[in-house]
Structure 1
Amino acid sequence: MSQSVCCAASPQPLPKEEATAIETELLRDYRFGQQQLIEIWGQACAVAITKAYPLSSLTKKQPTVLVICGPEQNGSIGLVCARHLRMFEYEPTIYHPKRSTQSLHQDFTVQCEKMDIPFLSYLPTEVQLINDAYNLVIDAMLGLEADSANIKEPYSGILVTLKQIKLSIVSVDVPSGWDVEEPSQDGIHPDVLISLTAPKKCAMSFSGKHFLAGRFLPYDIQKKYELNLPDYPGTDCLTEL
């Protein structure tokens, strides 16, 4: 089928190799900074969460959100997301068991600490997650760079817990535990997926609420990789697919 059909039809899913190549081009050729990209993605994730779970729709007494962050870029996106959620009057709590040694990632941690966002030293049990009145969990653990066939502690244990809880889960870009190239059969089942830049191949059969955060992407890159991205409404930084 021709790639020239209406761009609102459906985005072209990205294999991991092309997703990595696009990010490299953004950093090297278009002179985006890594901190800049993480900030764009993290803010867009927070906006997507406000659309999927408006404050008025939350049933708990407090708009509490548990953000689980990994050690690499996806975790930093989660930190930025938590900071913006705080500005949007949600009450994020962060679990960040393995922090990066890179100063860039440490900066995002400090920003959250300076905004008095609490950090947990352990992951609550399934019962505690519900009884502690969290409204939802944000999965910002592993992302594009992870090897789904070789997930180590503490993340393998966290995934076991996330499979058992009844709370809503929002995954950033690639649900943790999924192979980026194909949907997971036995991984977690998020209710919301926020794809960054363009949907990855694993998102092809995702049936929950699906947002795309990639309005910043230069037109030449969209054309080069035949992404077939949808139109964004008004001045929004994301769109629902």
Structure 2
Amino acid sequence: MALKTISAKAAAALDKELMSSGGFSIDQLMELAGLSVSQAVYHVHPPNKGRRILVACGPGNNGGDGLVAARHLCHYGYQPTVYYPKRSKNELYQRLSKQLEDLNVPFTDDFPTALSSTDHIVDAIFGFSFSGEVREPFPAVIQALEETKLPITSVDAPSSWNIEDGPPGSGVGSTFHPAVLVSLTAPKPLVKHFRGRHFIGGRFVAPSIALKYDFDVPQYSGIDQVVEVPTSGNKL
């Protein structure tokens, strides 16, 4: 059976509904998203594979998910470093940053140096709302992600990919293929172009909401907030 996906427009409407009739706050949704990402990282890259995790955060909600994931990874015993060059002035993001600072999680503005001394990368730069061109300072960052041999876990979408059509035909991100993708709430159409390990993090979604937006809530195991599902080029 083909994996059901939701468009970027539907994903935005779903988030809005979750924060209205669904009763969730944006803080809760970001916490659940970041927790899901941290658990996926733990599954694919347990601490014995290397504790140094570089979390690259964009200026929006995707970056906020990355900040939350970094906090949880720190508590799991990893040594996260956060690259967050365009810090939001929004109070929520400032609080997430403060939580990391209180844990002595380092922030860096030097992505190449951080990349040279890490074991795994979390790509939390752009999510399902991304469109248009990649703006500074991120073109060089995404190019570095394309070129590195290190494993990368992308949050909801590989950064620079079109949510409907996948990687750009040319230019920045056209050869970016992360090892792992964590689809938040529900998969987006770009997954048909993805060939790595695919996790879904949406255990909090009520069946009535999933029915309304026509996607499946997979069977989660135990206390896990993520579940691994097959991808087009990868059967489990």
TM-score calculated relative to the size of structure 2:
0.91
- Structure of greater Rg: 1
Q: Which amino acid aligns with 1:129?
A: L
CA RMSD of aligned residues (A): 1.3
Matches within 5 A, 1:13-28: 13-28=5-20
Offset at 1:120?
A: 0.4
Q: Is the contact made by 1:64 and 1:90 (CA closer than 8 Å) also made in structure 2?
A: yes
Following the alignment from structure 1 to structure 2, what is the Cα–Cα distance between the partners of residues 217 and 187?
Answer: 33
Q: Which residue of 2 aligns with 1:200?
A: 188
Overall identity of the aligned pairs, in % = 37
The partner residue of 2:68 within 60, 65, 80 is 80
Amino acid at match of 1:88: Y
**Matches of 1:113 and 1:157 in 2, distance apart?**
26
Deviations 1:124-174 (A, max 9, x none): 25xx623x2x11111000111211x31110111211111111111110001
1:187-213 deviation digits (Å, cap 9, x = unpaired): 411000000000011012311011000
2:38 aligned with 1:46? yes
2:97 maps to 1:109 = yes
Equivalent in 100, 115, 129 of residue 129 of structure 1: 115
1:141 maps to which residue? 125
* Change in 2 beyond 3 A, CA 1:122/1:19: same
Task: Note the C-alpha offset of 1:237.
Answer: 1.4
Count residues in correspondence: 224
| Residue 159 (structure 1) aligns with | 142
Amino acid at match of 1:141: I
My pick for the range that moved more, 221-230 or 105-114, is 221-230
Q: One-letter code of the match for 1:138? A: V
* Shift of residue 10, structure 1, vs aligned partner: 4.4
> Is the alpha carbon distance of 1:187 and 1:103 closer, same or farther for their aligned partners in structure 2, counting shifts above 3 Å?
farther
Matches of 2:219 and 2:106, distance apart in 1: 37
- The structure showing larger relative contact order (alpha-carbon pairs under 8 Å, at least 6 residues apart) is 1
Identify the match of residue 172 of structure 1 among 155, 162, 181: 155
- Give me the whole-angstrom Cα distance separating, in 2, the residues matched to 1:11 and 1:221: 17
- Whichever residue aligns with residue 60 of structure 2, its letter is E
Output the amino acid matched with 2:44: A
CA distance in 2 between partners of 1:169 and 1:33 (Å): 29
Unpaired segments of 5 or more residues in structure 1?
1-8
Cα distance in structure 1, aligned partners of 2:69 and 2:27: 13
1:155 is aligned with what amino acid? Answer: F
Query: What is the TM-score with the length of structure 1 in the denominator?
Result: 0.89
Who is 1:221 aligned against? 209
* Kept in 2: contact 1:12–1:229 (CA 8 A): no
Corresponding residue for residue 5 of structure 1? none
